[in-house]
Amino acid sequence: MAVITRVYDTYAHARQVVADVETAGVPTDDVSLLANKHVSDAYDDVEDVSAAGSGAGAGAAIGGGAGLLAGLGMLAIPGLGPVVAAGWLAATAVGAAAGAVAGGLIGALVGAGVSESDAHVYAETVRRGGTMVTVRAPDSRASEIEAIMDRHGPIDIAARGEAYRSSGWTKFDPGAEPYRPSQAELERMRRDYV
């Protein structure tokens, strides 16, 4: 089984990836989405997940073909604070944060086969406003799923990591305060959030 992870600078791109991957026949149970809480006006000011009206939540079983996006809810991940999320990876990261597995989101990504170096960049990019989509796919379909995900303009993980490092960043810090975006960044992040 391949695990394919991409991060998008806008929620709209990530949402379209999820729709396209599900349309290609990937079961909803094999797709995850994790976004900075600021992608949603409804969650922007939430500091306490218990006050978020968590909706279906991260590990929700969505019936009737409703798809992953119908299960979006709020959960807390160290270093990210409240996030908008759904799917298996988000549920794993929450379990990790609760002590089931070491490392929160980093541990969940590494456990899924992402290199530790890339996991730190993915987590930092979500902290800074990106939306991450992770798909489990049979090895025989990995290239097809990668092509679908790549059509929507994911960030270049190596270039983004280098840009972060050139500004003094070394790795994702789960103890750091969640990122507070500017108004321009909020508009970019929220494009087409529903």
**To which residue do tokens 């990937």 refer?**
26
**To which residue do tokens 């996030």 refer?**
83
Looking at residue 188, its pLDDT comes to 64
Looking at residue 150, its pLDDT comes to 97
Looking at residue 103, its pLDDT comes to 54
CA–CA gap between residue 76 and residue 159 (Å, rounded) = 28
38 pLDDT higher than 80: no
Instruction: Using a cut of 0.75, tell me whether the model's pTM lies above it.
Output: yes
How many CB atoms within 10 Å of residue 188?
16
**Phi, psi angle pair for 81, to nearest 5°:** 70, -155
Weakest mean pLDDT among 18-27, 39-48, 128-137, 158-167: 39-48
Looking at residue 184, its pLDDT comes to 59
pLDDT tens for 117-170 read: 999 999 999 888 889 999 999 999 999 999 999 999 999 999 999 999 999 999
Report in angstroms the alpha-carbon separations of 100 from 45, 62, 74, 110, 120. 28, 24, 19, 14, 20
66 pLDDT higher than 90: no
